Chains A and B, each alone.
Chain A
Amino acid sequence: MSAATADDRAESIRMIRDSAAAVAPPGADLGRIRALRFTDPGFDRAVLVQMGEMGWLGLRLPEAQGGAALGLGEACALAEELGAALVPEPLVAAMLSAAVLAAAGAKLDDVVAGRHYLPLAWQDRADTLDIAAGRDAPRCFVPMAAGADGYLVPVREAGRLALYRATGEARIERTQDGGNLGSFVPVLGERLAADIALDALLDEAALLSAAYLLGGMERAFAMTLDYLRTRSQFGRIIGTFQALQHRAADLKMHLAMTRASVESAAAALDAGATGDARRAAVSRAKARAAEAGLLVTRQCIQLHGGIGYTDQYDVGLYLRKAMVVANQYGSATLHRRRFMATAPEGDE
């Protein structure tokens, strides 16, 4: 990539970050997020529509399909900003739906506009990237299923993966962040495609979930630094205690490694990585983000002491969010193994 292009990309990414303020205004409190917790459907449909209007849900789609034709660099930056603000509207799942419909050549306006939420119900068990494809097999762990207007369901037919629109009575389970997951036995409706490839699209979702975690880690860490700079005990600002300083330095390094991992993976995919190269890059980033996301948020609680353990203090919301997102689209263990199975040995 020439220097000029790199500058253009940096500018494009900066603009996306700025645009995130429409849904996640800088400096805003988490009142909206708190109000939506443990409600149905757990997010605000109007905000999802707003996200559609911002062009976010079709961000990755070609312009011919009503998309913005932007790269994963931009998509990750957006997911990161929304993660920092704990936005509960299902950005990653809705982007995935839009991408799946586009791949199917199906009508996608309502989904891209955020008017319909049609999550892809692709898994039949926990911690997998394998596509569930049994016609009657129950689908599970569908994000924000309490707000679904139906589902997209892959079904194996004659050795190929078909895509159906489906309905189903979902059993809803609440999640630690105040959202929900659903499981249901699909009742198939319209067949949208006879042969569809989902792996690359799931990989993008996995990478975006890593970016979302990164945003949350960064914000929780920033809150923690503020606390360390202002809280006093034993007549001293606690940020002057060397043991806490070194802990904070360690967290900073986890953040730096996670950012490098996520951004380099996005860059690799934007540069055209496919197949194993794509899988290795995504798995590297998601393994890092899942592990660091849990580690950093729990350390942030510890550095806050008692106040961090109250529900009214925001840092705990980040802990709970990490618990939910860390293993979505594959846990650290799954991705570590996939990385080793797909990455070439180094050039040492």
Chain B
Amino acid sequence: MTGKRLATGGRIDRNRPLRFTFDGRGYTGFAGDTLASALLANGVRTVARSFKYHRPRGVVTAGVEEPAALVELLGPDASGNRQATTVPLTEGLAARSVNCWPSPRFDLGAVVQLAARAIPAGFYYKTFKWPGWALYAPAIRRAAGLASAPDHPPQGVYETRHAHCDLLVAGAGPAGLMAALVAARAGLRVVLADEGVEAGGALLSRDLLIDGAPARDWVAAVVAELAAAPLVTHLQQASVWGYREHNYLMVTETAPDRPGLTARGWRVRAGHVITATGALERGIAFAENDRPGVMLAGSVQTYLHRNAVAPWRRAVVFTNNNSAYAAAADLAAAGIVVAAIIDSRDQVPEDARARVAGLPLRAGHVVTRVLGRAGLRGVCVASPDGAEARIDCDLLAVSGGWNPSVHLWSQARGTLRYDADLAAFLPDRAVENVTAAGAAAGALGLPDALASGAEVGARVAGLPAPAVPQASDLPYAITPLWQVAHPRGKAFVDLQNDVTVADVELALREGYADVELVKRYTTAGMGLDQGKTGNVTVIGTLAQAQGRAPGEVGTTTFRAPWTPVAFGAIAGQRDGPLALPWRETPVTRWNIDRGAMMYEAGARWRRPGYFPATPDEPMAEAIARECRAVRFGVGVYDGSPLAKFEIKGPDAAAFLDHLYTNRMSSLKPRRGRYGLMLTDDGLILDDGVCFRLDAARWLVSGSTGHAEALHRHLEYQRQTSRPGWRVFITPVTEQWANATICGPQARAVMQALGCDFDLSAQAFPFMQLREGHVAGLPARVLRVSFTGELSYEVNVAPRHLPALWQQVMGAGAPHGILPVGSEANHVLRVEKGFLSLAHEVDGTADPHDLGLGWVMAQAKPDHLGQRAVAIRRAGGGVRRELVGVIPEGDTPLPEGAPLTPGGQRVASEGFITACVRSVVQDRWLGLALLDNGHARHGETAHVRLQGGQVIPVRVAAPIHYDPEGERLRS
């Protein structure tokens, strides 16, 4: 390791060595390293293989923009496709290269390189067509994807939380720190988020002075002051990755300081946002510019200053701008031979020259080609007159200029303009409440960055800009150079997706002339790095080829996320049983203890489907047992989830008449009626019973699954379409739990429970309501029936339901009472031909089709849906109408199976909505929606199944049991 680390400096802790493995070999680094810096310090050059051509690739950058050094982390918290430059080194870390076998240095996949010339951009559109893509796809797919997907969840948990602030500052470089400081001093609520391990941004990569002291001292002082400010939340390792409408930003903290917490997602609602996100360096496209050892110059500085890593002996610097001069000087200061500074500009500014006094500088020269495969051996350099010379080196530090990080700004739909002086796209007009500051706004030098941060921070706080600390920096100047033409070798613009200048030119030649088409034809910018170092080079290359300005070519769309985010940090605590809310009634536990098969039954309730007597009793038998109990003895079911509303007010009666198809205003107190509600386009919204409690109060019930839709509908009608009416709506679903006792013995059970009102059929008939006490508990009892039997819906406060339930089971025991699940209820309602919205209403049926024409009170003035039903019927189209069906031969009919004319394989004329094993008729009975069904009772129709089986059925009235309704009225 000696010779590859500097003796002093850097943000590493030399007293804390860390062991790690890479591709199975053991290495040592230090606390403060990234995986990339530790690999460099260990002399590892080839870190991965490229996506398409399997070319060896090394570390190119030092941050989130890294296109090449992709690794897979192993171990309990494995994750794939990680940039080695953003993985903090930890003890025992294990990683391996992506996309190579058996090793990155010797990769069998590299045979593709032999065919590289035959596979330019878009080659697969032109080939693999014969005999068919299916033949080739599997092999091509096998080559896809870089790392494997994780195959088990991580050990820790995730959390998401909300935050609110006056100001969110993205980026804690000098500009962001300055802005946050000014705003914090003004008393604003500030969130400062930066993706780095520590604050400081570009300052960590350079040896600049602020107020005469090392810049990091200033950073430390600002961080300390922010930490002490009560209204400031300062997050590091926190990527601001999404900028949503109304200044809602997504921040993911990847190392939250809480035990067991893997990552935390913040949703920040900010009054104002400052994007102080800095600038990213870009490359230059020249032949073989992807070889390990070719790095971006600013990143080389990062390795020198942050990690004290200097694994190089001889460096060449290639640039078109001033910033690389600082890099060259830093290299020299670290004891590395700077063999040459190659500057494509004919005129190098004097201040830049002064910065590298004594180092060999070749103005007007370019690097044409890189020598060496897995390791850089030298470069070819061309002079202005075209003469080529070779310079040996093991590092080529390149700077193609700087791109302000406008991603967040652009996500917020801020516009961009191309600045010819900076040769970069800059924020132009904001749309959201956002301002860019520092390098992200084009203020590339430190004094400007500090001033810009202070100015913008003060502006948000409504104050004049304060004085800023003293600093100096080499001013930035650039003459753009996008690519260096060379007849041999590949010049990459996107290292990750292996896109070359030739690919871009091919796209143009073939007519894919728009920057968006170039992107899609070549896949440039579509990798994990989303082209952070390459996209602007593509634009520049295009502009040059088309003779246009880069600003006219424009950018592709910047989209979230800024950097890839783990899905776990987006869903947060919504995990396992908390993936969706769930609801229980007061007897849910009892049901489960009783062995019920529970399932989701709408509106997030879990309900019993049926109650097997023994764990292995077949479902059909359990259901039949429950059905028989109701038909011949007594059963009880938990009807608590039924939607219930109390409606009151001087205009309540008129309101209900407007909503229901039939008249409710004529009900007398304590009486109820079944009713349907339609949407205004004549489709069925819900059905249920409506009771009048007293002169001005009503109790409306609806189906479980529609409770929220119904609530919404009621309030919508009340508030928007009839705002003048005085009506109050109070949901009471959760105030009244119920036990519904049903079956011929129901009255006996009620009597045994003890009621303080007369239960006789004369005194308390069907469709009436009584308030009083049942089993000593305050109760509201409704005589409604969804089973066709004598039935009492005993509503009590939920706190009383367990007690009531116990007593019902006790009182019913002599009659063999059984708890009844939803499945038995389904059988019972089909026998009776009662409607189930989920089965019989599929978006076309109207009340007439369902045989409920009687609920369409024709004489009634306008109600919702009335006109639409009339218009639809006036069309004269064939109606699908509800009928009963009796399978000839007594076989079950699959629910949903079509009926076709004569059972032929032609368009259907209806379908089976439900089919059950009837306990009263001891045979299969069904319901169907059938074209003109009402006129076809007595006919034979045909169910046709997949595979061709035809089942003849007799069409009948949709009521198979007790057509007169004597039992439910008994």
Q: Do A and B come from one complex?
A: no
Contact residues of A with B, CB < 8 Å? none
